[in-house]
Structure 1
């Protein structure tokens, strides 16, 4: 029996910032962003969207009347939680009209949370192959205006169903992981923007990748020649390129070319959306599926990293049911119909945060199905426009 990723969908708001314009406004060479960081655009998140609404907008594309009653758990990875106590998964469960006899849990370890969800889900489905698990990664990356991390902001959500006999990726049995108490990135409860030691975090990311990759090889006796492509956690796309270059010498010259071609395919979407935190690896995987030429049976390696720090390497083979045409068409339409905002509008939207009191928000400019309409009696008011 195969277990793995059956569906994988995405949502981010339709507003975006062009990073060439941001570079001009910040008086830096645009190539510092376009080449040095590897980003071209980033999603701009309005106040009418938060991690719950973005997750619902993504997950509504994988939950339908056929599988709604098969969902046994909702596992919500995020580091942008909206409540110190109540799980974002509980709000999501209600918005998706999922049954009451399920678990709904929020998972947190920086950008690693959704991967923990995938692994927990896989173990559950192994015992209950007739059921499915909904795994979500939803976040808003905030570092502050005119900060070094500003160019690596963004946001959005991915939603996956983990099932037996999946349509996308059959997960292999072995995964390898590593955790250390490291202060490379953190956000205290009293801050709305993250703190990061950028160069240190890059070094830890690469060191973790090399460590879990070596551990994986020793446990499986697989080598780089056994892989068609690697998908990486991409807080910015140059980060994954640095990690890939660390192991490329293990491959033949011909395979190095193939791995680099597939890496370029894997970062197309992330380059245009920005940093999703918990969803970044899985948006990269979706981009790889849609933009590369893949065949059933080929093995893909996945590296997940969450600052603080947790890293994991695992793998899977392309399913015999693999078909990407519908997904690629959706992304083509999404990118073709986004609305570009200028730097002044981006800065205004960035500063527009929810107050600590009741408020009614103007949702008329938000074209999403699920929106945040305000706060009433300290409770966020979510609206499903199709209800």
Structure 2
């Protein structure tokens, strides 16, 4: 069976950045360590006044297409995943296609276009849709373009404000992919939850404590479901474990839970038992409460073991590097985590072809998905071509007062006149509103 997966990838970060420990924390009268060490974010990426989910998505897609020498006829499907959409009818994919048609010969008139919504999970769901479309033989030899694009902004003063971010990830899904091939096996954990939602409002309503609990519960269910079809997992089966990363601190919680699960009934658990004992088994306790208390105690000891810390440093820490420099990208988050891990492999000269990743995606509301990916021979060249460092280093550093201005500029309920902080060049930009209140765009040389 021909492999299907991610053939190329590109990102586009917002052009502005807010230094959380050095700029945000002092303005809030808070300890800088709360951000750099606690939630694990140094910088939040934010969009300039001429940037939005369309410009970031279109600019990422154009860079990908140019690098691969693609034209519109090569693309049979454009799916956009976002939870920052501004139209309840017209999908963002049509806006992005319109931008791209303004710079390429040809058009996307025979490409299927859509928009996916399930909070942060929809980026992976869009990849799944493209995978299934190709597997079904409906692609006619063409590839799919999947774009995850978001402005993850929160109301001023909201606890989530420190996790903000803005950016897009564009992925080419095709047969015989260069980067990773997707597994047929998937696992799901899904339940009707109210942990994070946007009922006809721009900024989310969040129950932070509940959101962490739901994230961990759905991830555990998805892993168990994945193992029901793919067999038991083991820490040595996968070189990296990219998770949905709203902020690196939450990944630390998910990683510990996952490690306990995948080491259960293995030689790893037996080796750890010499220092911290075997994992508690529910049947050995008189009540569920006693069992859960024992589990918490075991995990507190587990995270202090050298074996766990070495695994975390190898398999998890490389996945959160970019996130710590850009903040939360919602639908693009897990795909940034994958790219971060692959970049770390290049920096550390790790041979990855044939190795596997275990990818954990999540969306509030709530659903998690677990699947495996096999790294392909062409991964190094494709990943090395993505100009991550140039984009991150080229961002404009905001003062706190400038941050307040740009936040107001992107607040749909405010009318403010703010000059751009950067100069657009060779990119798509937002130019204003049309006669039917649609957003308008043009390419700036």
Q: 24-33 or 259-268: which moved more?
A: 259-268
> Does the Cα contact within 8 Å between 2:16 and 2:395 map onto a contact in 1?
yes
Match of 1:17 in 2: 18
How far did 1:109 drift?
A: 0.9
Q: 164-173 or 175-184: which moved more?
A: 175-184
User: 2: distance between equivalents of 1:376 and 1:103?
Assistant: 25
Give the structure with the higher percent strand. Answer: 1
How far did 1:220 drift?
A: 0.9
Match of 2:125 in 1: 116
Match of 1:248 in 2: 259
> Does the Cα contact within 8 Å between 1:359 and 1:374 map onto a contact in 2?
no
1:155-174 mapped onto 2 (5 Å cutoff): 155-174=166-185
Give the structure with the higher percent helix. Answer: 2
How far did 1:334 drift?
A: 1.9
How far did 1:156 drift?
A: 0.6
In the superposition, relative to structure 1, how do residues 167 and 255 fare at CA in structure 2: closer, same or farther (>3 Å)? farther
> Does the Cα contact within 8 Å between 1:361 and 1:373 map onto a contact in 2?
no
Gaps of at least 5 residues in structure 2 are 102-106, 269-305
> Does the Cα contact within 8 Å between 1:42 and 1:273 map onto a contact in 2?
yes
Q: 2:401 aligns with which of 330, 344, 355?
A: 344
User: 1: distance between equivalents of 2:328 and 2:310?
Assistant: 26
User: 1: distance between equivalents of 2:229 and 2:118?
Assistant: 25
Q: Helix, strand or coil: the match of 2:187?
A: strand
The question of 1:198 aligning with 2:208 is answered yes
**Aligned residue pair count:** 385
The question of 1:142 aligning with 2:153 is answered yes
Match of 1:374 in 2: 432
User: 1: distance between equivalents of 2:440 and 2:117?
Assistant: 24
Q: 142-151 or 75-84: which moved more?
A: 142-151
Structure 1 stretches of at least 4 aligned residues deviating more than 6 Å after TM superposition: 354-361
User: 1: distance between equivalents of 2:50 and 2:316?
Assistant: 34
User: 2: distance between equivalents of 1:276 and 1:55?
Assistant: 12
Q: 1:320 aligns with which of 357, 377, 381?
A: 377
Q: 82-91 or 288-297: which moved more?
A: 288-297
User: 1: distance between equivalents of 2:361 and 2:193?
Assistant: 16
Match of 2:104 in 1: none
Match of 1:74 in 2: 78
In the superposition, relative to structure 1, how do residues 342 and 361 fare at CA in structure 2: closer, same or farther (>3 Å)? closer
Q: Helix, strand or coil: the match of 2:407?
A: helix
1:222-371 mapped onto 2 (5 Å cutoff): 222-224=232-234, 225-249=236-260, 250-251=262-263, 252=268, 257-292=310-345, 293-324=350-381, 327=384, 330-353=387-410, 365-367=422-424, 369-371=427-429
Q: Helix, strand or coil: the match of 1:374?
A: strand
Q: Helix, strand or coil: the match of 1:58?
A: helix
| TM-score, structure 2 normalization | 0.82
1:327-384, Cα deviation, whole Å (9 max, x unpaired): 3661122222222111110011001137689999866834250110111321211011
Match of 2:57 in 1: 55
In the superposition, relative to structure 1, how do residues 73 and 187 fare at CA in structure 2: closer, same or farther (>3 Å)? same
| TM-score, structure 1 normalization | 0.93
User: 2: distance between equivalents of 1:302 and 1:269?
Assistant: 16
1:251-304, Cα deviation, whole Å (9 max, x unpaired): 437586244323111111110001100000001111111013341011101111
1:211-261, Cα deviation, whole Å (9 max, x unpaired): 111111121114123111100111111111210111223343758624432
User: 1: distance between equivalents of 2:323 and 2:18?
Assistant: 14
How far did 1:68 drift?
A: 3.1
User: 1: distance between equivalents of 2:5 and 2:47?
Assistant: 31
Q: 2:231 aligns with which of 215, 218, 221?
A: 221
Q: Helix, strand or coil: the match of 2:371?
A: strand
Q: CA RMSD in A?
A: 2.2
In the superposition, relative to structure 1, how do residues 359 and 204 fare at CA in structure 2: closer, same or farther (>3 Å)? closer
In the superposition, relative to structure 1, how do residues 46 and 154 fare at CA in structure 2: closer, same or farther (>3 Å)? same
Q: Helix, strand or coil: the match of 2:119?
A: coil
User: 2: distance between equivalents of 1:152 and 1:10?
Assistant: 19
User: 2: distance between equivalents of 1:167 and 1:203?
Assistant: 36
